[in-house]
Chains A and B, each alone.
Chain A
Amino acid sequence: AQSVSQHNHHVILSEAASLELGCNYSYGGTVNLFWYVQYPGQHLQLLLKYFSGDPLVKGIKGFEAEFIKSKFSFNLRKPSVQWSDTAEYFCAVNPYSGNNRKLIWGLGTSLAVNP
Chain B
Amino acid sequence: EAQVTQNPRYLITVTGKKLTVTCSQNMNHEYMSWYRQDPGLGLRQIYYSMNVEVTDKGDVPEGYKVSRKEKRNFPLILESPSPNQTSLYFCASSLLAGGRSTEQFFGPGTRLTVL
Interface residues of A (CB under 8 A from B): 32, 34, 42-46, 49, 51, 90, 94, 96, 101-103, 105-108
Q: Can you add 14 more A-B contacts, CB < 8 Å, to A102-B45, A102-B58, A107-B40?
A: A34-B103, A42-B108, A44-B43, A44-B104, A45-B106, A46-B105, A49-B103, A94-B101, A96-B98, A101-B31, A101-B56, A102-B59, A103-B45, A107-B41
Q: B100 to A94, Cβ gap below 8 A?
A: yes
Chain B: residues with Cβ within 8 Å of the partner, total of 26
Q: B109 to A43, Cβ gap below 8 A?
A: yes
Taking the nearest CB of chain A, how far is it from the CB of B63, in angstroms?
19
The answer, among B31, B42, B59, B109, for a CB contact under 8 Å with A106, is: B42
Residue contacts A-B, CB under 8 angstroms, 10 given? A43-B90, A43-B109, A44-B43, A44-B106, A101-B50, A101-B100, A102-B45, A103-B101, A105-B42, A108-B42
